[in-house]
């Protein structure tokens, strides 16, 4: 999970504020690299769609 958060932070640094960060892209890259379990993708997307 820390590797995923690091990758997300790196994408944030590289992106312009008006462009934002493509979270789905970061998640898919992290799964492909083995930094994020694929089973967490749906859970993360559910939290994003339905915040507390």
Residue 52 has pLDDT above 70, yes or no: no
Enclosing domain of residue 29: 2-49
Contact 32, 3 (CB under 8 A): no
Q: How many domains does the chain have?
A: 1
The pLDDT assigned to 23 comes to: 83
Query: What is the average per-residue pLDDT within 22-51?
Result: 87
Phi and psi at residue 15, to the nearest 5°:
-85, 155
Token pair for residue 34? 């083995």
Measure Cα distances from 10 to 7, 21, 39 in Å.
5, 10, 23
The answer to whether the predicted template modeling score (pTM) of the entire model surpasses 0.75 is: no
Report residue 32's pLDDT band, with 50, 70 and 90 as the boundaries.
very high
């Amino acid at each position: 999970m820390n590797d995923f958060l690091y990758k997300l932070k790196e994408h944030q640094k590289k992106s312009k504020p008006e462009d934002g960060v493509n979270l789905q892209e970061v998640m898919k890259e992290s799964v492909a690299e083995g930094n994020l379990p694929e089973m967490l993708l749906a859970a993360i997307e559910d939290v994003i769609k339905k915040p507390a």
